[in-house]
Amino acid sequence: MSRKHKKRLARILIAALLLGVIAFLPIGEKIKAVLYLLPYLIVGWDVLWKAVRNIVHGQVFDENFLMSLATVGAFALGDYIEAAAVMLFYQIGELFQSIAVGKSRKSIASLMDIRPDSATLLRDGEELKVSPDEVQKGEIVLVRAGEKIPLDGIVLEGTTTVNTAALTGESLPVDIAAGDRVVSGSINLSGVITLKTESVYSESTVAKILNLVENSAAKKAKTENFITRFAKYYTPIVVVSAVLLAVLPPLISGGEWADWLHRALIFLVVSCPCALVISVPLSFFGGIGGASKRGILIKGANYTEVLAKTGTVVFDKTGTLTKGTFKVTAIHPESMSKAELLDIAAAAESYSNHPIAESIIAAHNGHIDRSRIGNVTEHTGMGVEAVIDGRVIFAGNGRLMELAGADLHDCHIAGTVIHIAEGKNYLGHIVISDEIKPNSKAAIAELKALGITKTVMLTGDRREIGEAVGKELGLDEVHAELLPDGKVKAVEKLIDKKAPLAFVGDGINDAPVLARADIGIAMGGMGSDAAIEAADVVLMDDEPLKLPEAIKIARKTMRIVWQNIIFALSVKAVVLVLGALGIAGMWLAIFADVGVTVLAILNAMRAMR
């Protein structure tokens, strides 16, 4: 709990204790009236101050003004306990809301981890360590293994493997050779390369990602707090009605001024929106608390409301609908058994720590006798060449097969294909694919059962792989081969003003899209800090089925909120009429205020389950 929350809680506890002690003191009512001001001011001074400050700034009619006017009115009627208790309940509701909303989002400084600190510039045969901002378009930059690529450019010399996960979200490294394009923010995993820059740093991919997050966050449609919207119209109507009730009848009919003033003050006490200002945030707080127990973190009440209305759900692929880990999904030998082909491939890859090699070795799941393996040569960006049992084996992509002179066979299955050849003799191929999470298909089906009108997947992966995953999961649309700015544009096209759009992602590259969507949902357990900070909802255990569960919780919470709103306003409307007619006394007014509040709170507690 923050220091601010602790201070407010301390004020509430002190005021509640004083209220109880004063009520039982054997002293006169006049002295009690003075003493009751103490807990009232301890717990409500900030509300009174805000009301006065807002009046000075021309913002008269808000909940602070009405709370101040109603409680001062209660004091004027001699209901001192009522005045202090009403303010106490109001502050309890404010504390709940403050905790529910939580801290403001932290700075997106975590995104700065993808920004390269320096660039090695080649000028006149010398290496210069400079800031990426100092590199001009068309200059030559050297990037060693383990370094971040500082600017977008075309590779002039060298071959390597590049990790683009920070940008595309795809965890499988990409093989790079001369003539290929590389983007800033990627990590050079193996070889040394030189590249010719295509742009200055401010126009690079990594700079654009940072700008997208900042600018997209500003475009997000924000749901106004219900109480503020309600009070904007409710408060002035109530105050004007109370004034008219106190003045017009005596002027017109010649009635007792004291009697009509008494009715007007009862009118104000009844009209105090305590049941709403407490139960509405408490309902959201209960829903948020109940969701957190299920591993679903909703960052505020306004996001609960948007989540409940969601009509379109857009997913990132890798790490969201798939595991982001790779395994052998097919083995297609030419003239030997599958086990023999896998054994040869595993032996050839046994000295590599590349994700592809690790997945083949894991599928082999047996002892690899390295005494069989002779010289191993790694062809960067293509694969490996190894001498196994005296035979020269090539295992890698199509370019390696061209180098070996082997005539490869294409595969109809979507995935990364590893071809194996003995010299020019093609032996077959192995398909490696990203695993779909076990519950992804069930999550999509459940979303559709909840009435979600459209499910879409965005991915930086190849089109055939994306479409294969989309078809298997039953998604409505698939958009593939997208960089972060492409994902943002795709989301903007999908946004429908009639129903909010939710985007679900997990990587740094998803942060701009999470910020741009009506509601951003991050897979938090394995997701990046940047994605979690940019998101409005975090699924803490990366379980796709948590998404429909989160929507169910949000909808239940909103049902409870509207139940409380309708119940409170209905009771108050009846008692207001009775009070104006002189039928309802202060006790009925107190029930319409405190009693309705208690009932609304009890109903709000259901959201916690």
Catalytic residue numbers read 316
Edge-first strand listing for the sheet containing 322-333: 322-333, 425-436, 416-422, 391-396, 383-388, 373-379
Query: What stretch of H or E contains 202?
Result: none
C-alpha closest to that of 441 among 475, 489, 485:
475
- At residue 341, what are phi and psi to the nearest 5 degrees? -65, -40
Dihedral of the alpha carbons of 442, 444, 446, 452, in degrees to the nearest 10: 180
Sheet holding 140-143, edge to edge: 126-130, 119-123, 140-143, 193-197, 153-157, 181-182
| Start-end of H helices in 144-273 | 165-168, 205-219, 226-253, 257-271
CB 61 within 8 A of CB 236: yes
Give the separation between CA 92 and CA 78, rounded to whole angstroms.
Answer: 23
Please tell me the distance from the alpha carbon of residue 204 to that of residue 151, in angstroms, as a whole number: 6
Q: Are 522 and 535 within 8 A, CB to CB?
A: yes
Element (H, E) at 572: helix 546-580
How far, in Å, are 209, 327, 330, 360 from residue 430 at the CA level?
A: 36, 10, 6, 8
Answer whether 456's CB lies under 8 Å from 470's CB: no
Q: Contact at 8 Å (CB) between 178 and 158?
A: yes
What is the strand order of the sheet 160-163 is part of? Answer: 174-176, 160-163, 187-188
- HSE-up of 171 (CA within 13 Å, CB side)? 22
Integer Cα distance of 494 and 403 in angstroms: 45
- Please tell me whether residue 67 adopts helix, strand or coil conformation: helix
Please choose, from the candidates 294, 288, 217, 287, the residue with its C-alpha nearest in 3D space to the C-alpha of residue 539: 294
DSSP type of residue 258: H
Greatest CA separation found in the chain? 117
Q: How many residues does the chain have?
A: 609
Strands (E), 454-500: 454-458, 477-479
Angle at 59 between CA 55 and CA 65, to 5 degrees: 60
Nearest residue to 483 (alpha-carbon basis) of 517, 509, 516: 509
Q: What is the DSSP secondary structure assignment for residue 607, as one 8-state letter?
A: G
Distance CA(273)–CA(573), nearest Å, equals: 12
Helix (H) or strand (E) holding 587: helix 586-590
User: Which of 375, 8, 26, 322 minimizes the C-alpha distance to 170?
Assistant: 322
Phi first, then psi: give them for residue 326, nearest 5 degrees. Answer: -115, 145
Strands 140-143 and 153-157 come out as unpaired
Name the one residue in this structure whose structure tokens are 């509207």: 562
**Nearest residue to 143 via CA among 484, 156, 210:** 156
